[in-house]
Amino acid sequence: MNNQPHVAIVGATGAVGREMLICLSERNFPLSKLTLLASVRSAGQKLTFRGEEITIQELSADSFEEIDIALFSAGGGISEKFGPVAAEAGCVVIDNSSAFRMDPAVPLVVPEINPDAAAIHPRNIIANPNCSTIITLMGLAPLHRAFGLKGIIASTYQAVSGSGAQGIAELENQVQALASGAPIEKQIYPHQIAHNVIPHVDAFQDSGYTKEEQKMLHEGRKILGLPDLKVTCTCVRVPVMRSHSISLTAIFEKDPSVAEAQAVFANSPGIKLVDDPASALYPVPLDTTGQDDCLVGRIRKDQVLPNAIALWVVGDQVKKGAALNAVQIAELL
Ligand code: A2P
């Protein structure tokens, strides 16, 4: 790869696309040029990057001729249609959708966990995992390396940013409507999200689990290289703007003590231990908002299962759950 690549963001006006601009800037990503692509609705508008205004262009099949790396975050349909077009034009696609994640020829990468997987990408596509899966595995991978992960029981508390800019707008609008007595409008979620929680993220499957819940199983197995990993997950949308929290029971081969489990986070990149409940110190979503690092705490012995630890992991969905992870993958290239 050219060490000053020409980078494109597909979906540059979205919640994740805008955060990608911030991550590229904050990390001094070495690029020769940045191209911003979105729908015809945004074409001609400008976004600022490193003090310069860049005009947004309409995405088309011809957008990728001169691009080296394309960061896709415009939804699964756009990835399915334009990802292979970009890849055939010689560009490496880093895709934020679920379109290619389970393709055996497409690596699924969290740079702190399986960076080597990014090196082999025969389709010219590398997939960014599901946001809840990334944040969960940031908390579990250090424990897995020390104690051997066998199974996970997870409940997620997922921010509205996971539904993109429209999810954020829906919560903001409903909070304002409640304050002013105006009628509540619902477009994105099947129920009011303000003052509520909704145990329904993505479509229900015949199994009774949602697609989002099954992503934790299938993507977790692929990223950790654990084909027999057992996962039960309940995904819940909560009225939080942009950080996901995950309550976990993790079952291991070995039987770690609480102190041993806490100790593995001392030198784990991208994740910090915040675990002093007596001082009310534990991760909360507002503390990770806008932050690169995920936080882990509430580490204790599970009282039901042997060799099991209960823990609580929190991370910024827009950052480590999406934009930052994609930019870190680009850095690996
Ligand atoms: P636009 O703002 O022009 O609609 P989010 O996930 O936050 O809703 O963002 C979705 C992103 O995907 C936006 O940048 C949006 O651009 C972009 N997008 C949606 N539909 C298309 C399309 N048909 N072609 C290109 N970009 C699209």
| Catalytic site residue from 144, 233, 244, 294 | 244
Q: What is the structure's pLDDT at 326?
A: 98
Q: What is the distance between the terminal CA atoms of the chain, rounded to a whole angstrom?
A: 7
- Does residue 43 sit in the same domain as residue 143? no
> The domain spanning residue 163 has which CATH number?
3.30.360.10
Contact 246, 226 (CB under 8 A): no
- Does residue 202 sit in the same domain as residue 272? yes
53: pLDDT strictly greater than 90: yes
For the full predicted model, state whether its pTM sits above 0.75: yes
Give distance in angstroms: CA of 47 to centre of ligand 1: 14
Query: What is the CB < 6 Å shell around ligand 1?
Result: 11-15, 17, 38-39, 41-42, 59, 74-75, 78, 164-166
The answer to the question of residue 1 being in a domain is no
The answer to the question of residue 263 being in a domain is yes
| Catalytic site residue from 131, 233, 235, 294 | 131
CA distance 246 to 139: 9
- Does residue 312 sit in the same domain as residue 328? no
What total number of domains does the chain contain? 2
Q: What is the structure's pLDDT at 229?
A: 98
- Does residue 174 sit in the same domain as residue 232? yes
Contact 236, 157 (CB under 8 A): yes
pLDDT band at 3 (very low <50, low <70, confident <90, very high): confident
The answer to the question of residue 113 being in a domain is yes
Range of the domain at 207: 133-317
- Does residue 186 sit in the same domain as residue 112? no
> The domain spanning residue 66 has which CATH number?
3.40.50.720
The answer to the question of residue 288 being in a domain is yes
- Does residue 168 sit in the same domain as residue 196? yes
- Does residue 327 sit in the same domain as residue 271? no
Known catalytic membership, residue 218:
no
Q: pLDDT tens, 133-172?
A: 999 999 999 999 999 999 999 999 999 999 999 999 999 9
Pocket perturbation via mutation, ligand 1, pick of 9, 16, 78 by most ligand atoms within 8 A of CB: 78
pLDDT band at 287 (very low <50, low <70, confident <90, very high): very high
The answer to the question of residue 245 being in a domain is yes
Identify the residue whose C-alpha is closest to ligand 1 atom 15: 11
The answer to the question of residue 106 being in a domain is yes
Q: What is the structure's pLDDT at 2?
A: 81
The answer to the question of residue 44 being in a domain is yes
- Does residue 252 sit in the same domain as residue 150? yes
The answer to the question of residue 55 being in a domain is yes
Q: pLDDT tens, 192-231?
A: 999 999 999 999 999 999 999 999 999 999 999 999 999 9
- Does residue 63 sit in the same domain as residue 78? yes
pLDDT band at 284 (very low <50, low <70, confident <90, very high): very high
Q: pLDDT tens, 64-118?
A: 999 999 999 999 999 999 999 999 999 999 999 999 999 999 999 999 999 999 9
- Does residue 138 sit in the same domain as residue 247? yes
Give distance in angstroms: CA of 132 to centre of ligand 1: 21
Identify the residue whose C-alpha is closest to ligand 1 atom 27: 39
Give distance in angstroms: CA of 224 to centre of ligand 1: 31
252: pLDDT strictly greater than 90: yes
- Does residue 259 sit in the same domain as residue 278? yes
Known catalytic membership, residue 131:
yes
Give distance in angstroms: CA of 103 to centre of ligand 1: 24
pLDDT band at 242 (very low <50, low <70, confident <90, very high): very high
- Does residue 144 sit in the same domain as residue 198? yes
Percent of the chain with pLDDT over 90: 99
Token match 């729908």: residue?
39
275: pLDDT strictly greater than 90: yes
In ligand 1, which atom is closest to the CA atom of 17? 14
Identify the residue whose C-alpha is closest to ligand 1 atom 2: 13
pLDDT band at 1 (very low <50, low <70, confident <90, very high): confident
Mean pLDDT of the chain: 97
Identify the residue whose C-alpha is closest to ligand 1 atom 4: 39
Identify the residue whose C-alpha is closest to ligand 1 atom 6: 164
